[in-house]
Amino acid sequence: MKNRLLSEILPSLDTSEPAKHPKCLGYTDEWTREFDCEYQTSLECADCKYGGHGGRKDPEAKVNQL
């Protein structure tokens, strides 16, 4: 009975990040564990419309490039 309860509770505790948009080019460097974005944008992931957080800004737009 205890195992059944755990299997019912644990899926609700899923804290994984939301799925990324297919065009998201963000990655975590395996060596330094730092996050970076191949778009070379000045946007934070929360603002980026490709970042999976519902943002509205386009990292490909020239105004958002570094």
Q: Are 51 and 19 in contact (CB under 8 A)?
A: no
| Residue 64 to residues 2, 9, 46, 53, 61, Cα–Cα distance (Å) | 52, 42, 14, 17, 6
Q: Are 56 and 47 in contact (CB under 8 A)?
A: yes
For 45-57, write each residue's pLDDT tens digit: 889 999 877 789 9
pLDDT band at residue 7, thresholds of 50, 70 and 90?
low
pTM: 0.60
